[in-house]
Structure 1
Amino acid sequence: MTDRGFDLGDRLGEREEGDLRRHLDPTESVETRTRFAEDPKGGPPRFGEPALVFASNDYLGLAGDDRVQRAAETAARTVGTGAGASRLVTGDTHLHRALERDLADCKGCEHTLVFSSGYAANVGTVDALAPDVVFSDALNHASIVDGCRIGAGETVVYDHCDPDDFAARMAERERQADADESWLVVTDTVFSMDGDVAPLERLCDVADDHGAWTMADEAHATGVFGADGGGNVRREGLTDRVDVELGTLSKALGAQGGYVAGDEDLIEHLLNAARTFVFSTGLAPPAVGAAREALRIAGEGDRRERLWANVDPLRDGLEGAVFEVPGDSQILPVLVGDRDDVLELERAVRKRGIVAPAIRSPTVPEGTARIRVAPTAAHTGADVDACVAAFREARSR
């Protein structure tokens, strides 16, 4: 009989040979200092010595905040541990509606819709809009890429953060376009591996010139940028020019889930047509409660100031150790280039008690391997000094 199955052993072997095979290494807690265990497979984890974590997207340190944890507990006790069904069936609770009102206030828009994840929000939104053409930044997140694969008639990729190349590609497409084509421009506002910020206003200018809609992913900006943590779109005064704004509740807000923000027609269309919303159980109430409290803290407290007070000296220290650290955000990519060199650097800083991941192709382009360093508001000055010292020692060994 012909074997029409899948040789997954060979596939894993190929990943192993390319240093691309990944493992699940459990962590004891979501804190700035915690213990890790090597992948235990089916057994219990055996934790080693604690290490400082500079790899988390919990930028404001809210995942371990007592107030956020109490809000999650209260939601579980009063509403339930799970939503029980799709929100279009019975899973739409007063907590979901309250969070959506709070997000709309934070974003300065008419309405928001909460999804089970930021990934689901991106894929579901592009698919529901079903644009004839998407213009997508070359370094957009995988969830945007997958949304384009599923929902776009055609995807045109423009050079990273390059409004001139974007304008040229739009002009070229205009010459062959049908009059009734729908166009969508999609960009991250803060790029997760490069730490740079998209030139939103210039992108909006070009999009407006061609009558296209603009969609901005604020995953790494919500809670971090802007006077009230409203993100880059609001900080730059572009709320009325960005047609679709979305993001996640799982990074600076320390919870889980995603959201889309926009006008009433957009949200009504998505709750009817976004398959990742329609056919998914509603976001778990504890995550909703946690996100709502985290949003309040992010808007009212000093967490953002504490974060930036760690970002600047950490960047200065890494650059002082003769590392190249590009970007304009709380994400600090330490560029190395070579795949083997970046893995060696990752191991060296890990031996010195610092957890920061090596990022290499295909996550980033070949030859641009880097260590992604991400401080949080919960790190102390001593933690930052320890991180700099580990990189300095690893460089000079």
Structure 2
Amino acid sequence: MADRGFDLEDRLRTLEENDLKRALSPVDRVAERGYFAEPSGGDLPVLDSAEALVFASNNYLGLTDDQRIQDAARQAAATVGTGAGASRLVTGDTLVHRDLERVLAETKGTERALTFSSGYAANVGTIAALEPDVVFSDELNHASIIDGCRLADAETVVYDHCDAASLGAKLEEQAERAANEGREPVDESWLIVTDSVFSMDGTVAPLETICDAAEEFGAWVMVDEAHATGLYANGGGIVQAEGLEDRIQIQMGTLSKALASQGGYVAGSSELIECLLNDAHSFVFSTGLAPPAAAAASEALHVARHDDARERLWENVAHLRDGLESMGFEVWGDSQILPVVVGDRRDAIDLADGIRERDVVAPAIRPPTVPEGTSRIRVVPMATHEQGDIVTCLEAFRAAGEEVGLL
């Protein structure tokens, strides 16, 4: 009998040969430090005896173990329930959801907001529901944006990373082509999509010049603020820091990073939100966000807006960047994400291993996640790291860098 199944052993062997095989390494708690277990496959994990400092998490404000956020989640579980129980359109819509969406809309300067089960679901569902004819996408956009374009079956035009001039040229080319084919602008819908902070490079999109280009050609702009929400002006993102709320039609973000919870959101006009709650499949056909997650995100957003956590984060970012650069490391980015670029894949893995041996967690990022020749260590401090923790991280980089021959 013919075997029409899948050769999984060969796939795994290929991943291992290319240094791409990953494994789960459980930790006892989500915070700035913790006890990790060695990868154990399907067996029960055994925690290491040494506590490690975590410089690899998206828990930027360190709020996952904040008592205020935990209390909010407990109260929601006790009062509303542990799960929504159904789609929001059936019986899964609660006052906790509505409170979170109200605060998100207020923070993002929009009429309304809508929460999704994940940031991935928010991007895929929104792009697919809008059904744009053409999407102009930054070449380093998140996979959920790319998958959203595919699901929408849109013509996707990729422009150079964070390059508004490249975007302008692509818009001009598309306009000329449409004119030559006798198509009027009113016949097509154009959407420009970009991350605001890029998760692997730490770069920040030039949103103002992107808006200039969009307005010249009548396109809409959608900005993914996953790695910016909660960290900038009044707990907002780059859109708020640059005062562009009135020029960007769709603001998307996550609740699972700085806001220490789970889920994603889209903020915009009332008409946009009404369309999404009717047409976005990832919203319509998913159980609503768990009430404890919604309450935790709402309280975390309050803390981000009114506490000093943001200031502490940026102090740690500056200290860490200065220390790494003074050693001679090349550090990219303009945000809280600090990619220490090594170049060679093997050197990056060895550097990460050396850092881990010194009880600091900062893993190597290598192709195909990043382009060949740009392997790196993605270093991210948290607001809850103390100055001594930053010094320990820097000392681990120095010792491991000398050991590998990079310093």
**TM-score, normalization: structure 1?**
0.99
Distance 1:205 1:46 in 2: 54
For residue 35 of structure 1, what is the amino acid of its counterpart? Y
Distance 1:225 1:119 in 2: 22
Distance 1:371 1:14 in 2: 23
Corresponding position of 2:231: 224
Distance 1:31 1:221 in 2: 19
Matches within 5 A, 1:144-155: 144-155=145-156
User: Is the 1:188–1:198 contact (alpha carbons within 8 Å) kept by the matching residues of 2?
Assistant: yes
Determine if the alignment matches structure 1 residue 106 to structure 2 residue 107. yes
Distance 1:200 1:219 in 2: 15
Superposition deviation, residue 142 in structure 1: 1.0
For residue 248 of structure 1, what is the amino acid of its counterpart? T
Determine if the alignment matches structure 1 residue 128 to structure 2 residue 121. no
Distance 1:148 1:19 in 2: 30
Distance 1:99 1:38 in 2: 37
Determine if the alignment matches structure 1 residue 363 to structure 2 residue 364. no
- Alignment partner of 1:297 out of 288, 292, 303: 303
Corresponding position of 2:336: 330
Identity %: 63
Long gaps (5+) in structure 1: none
Distance 2:74 2:39 in 1: 29
Question: Per-residue displacement from partner, 1:4-59 (whole Å, max 9, x unpaired)?
Answer: 11111111111111111110110110111101001222322111111000000000
Distance 1:225 1:331 in 2: 14
Question: Per-residue displacement from partner, 1:191-247 (whole Å, max 9, x unpaired)?
Answer: 001111100000000011000000000011111011x11111111111011010000
Matches within 5 A, 1:379-394: 379-394=385-400
177-186 or 84-93: bigger deviation = 177-186
Determine if the alignment matches structure 1 residue 137 to structure 2 residue 143. no
User: Is the 1:55–1:374 contact (alpha carbons within 8 Å) kept by the matching residues of 2?
Assistant: yes
User: Is the 2:309–2:383 contact (alpha carbons within 8 Å) kept by the matching residues of 1?
Assistant: yes
Corresponding position of 1:30: 30
- Alignment partner of 1:350 out of 356, 365, 378: 356
Superposition deviation, residue 260 in structure 1: 0.1
Matches within 5 A, 1:182-331: 182-226=189-233, 228-331=234-337
Distance 2:227 2:11 in 1: 33
Aligned to 1:166, what secondary structure does the other structure show? helix
Superposition deviation, residue 88 in structure 1: 0.6
Corresponding position of 1:157: 158
Question: Per-residue displacement from partner, 1:276-324 (whole Å, max 9, x unpaired)?
Answer: 0000000011100100100000000100000011000100000111100
Corresponding position of 1:372: 378
User: Is the 1:133–1:152 contact (alpha carbons within 8 Å) kept by the matching residues of 2?
Assistant: no
Corresponding position of 1:96: 97
For residue 206 of structure 2, what is the amino acid of its counterpart? P
Distance 2:260 2:43 in 1: 28
For residue 23 of structure 2, what is the amino acid of its counterpart? H
Superposition deviation, residue 375 in structure 1: 0.2
Aligned to 1:160, what secondary structure does the other structure show? coil
Distance 1:70 1:125 in 2: 32
Distance 2:294 2:162 in 1: 33
User: Is the 1:336–1:370 contact (alpha carbons within 8 Å) kept by the matching residues of 2?
Assistant: yes
User: Is the 1:135–1:184 contact (alpha carbons within 8 Å) kept by the matching residues of 2?
Assistant: yes
Distance 2:264 2:80 in 1: 20
Distance 1:4 1:334 in 2: 44
User: Is the 2:193–2:222 contact (alpha carbons within 8 Å) kept by the matching residues of 1?
Assistant: yes
Aligned to 1:89, what secondary structure does the other structure show? coil
Question: Per-residue displacement from partner, 1:252-286 (whole Å, max 9, x unpaired)?
Answer: 01111100000000000000000000000000111
Superposition deviation, residue 175 in structure 1: 1.0
Distance 1:144 1:337 in 2: 27
Corresponding position of 2:5: 5
Distance 1:22 1:218 in 2: 27
Aligned to 2:330, what secondary structure does the other structure show? coil
Distance 2:311 2:153 in 1: 40
Distance 1:287 1:39 in 2: 28
For residue 364 of structure 2, what is the amino acid of its counterpart? A
Superposition deviation, residue 127 in structure 1: 0.3
**TM-score, normalization: structure 2?**
0.96
Distance 1:197 1:25 in 2: 30
For residue 27 of structure 2, what is the amino acid of its counterpart? T
Distance 1:326 1:168 in 2: 26
Aligned pairs, number: 396
For residue 213 of structure 1, what is the amino acid of its counterpart? W
Aligned to 1:176, what secondary structure does the other structure show? helix
Corresponding position of 2:60: 59
What is the CA RMSD across the aligned residues, in angstroms? Answer: 0.8
Long gaps (5+) in structure 2: none
For residue 211 of structure 1, what is the amino acid of its counterpart? G
Aligned to 1:371, what secondary structure does the other structure show? strand
User: Is the 2:23–2:41 contact (alpha carbons within 8 Å) kept by the matching residues of 1?
Assistant: no
Aligned to 2:28, what secondary structure does the other structure show? coil
Distance 1:44 1:20 in 2: 23
Corresponding position of 2:83: 82
User: Is the 1:116–1:256 contact (alpha carbons within 8 Å) kept by the matching residues of 2?
Assistant: yes
Distance 2:119 2:153 in 1: 18
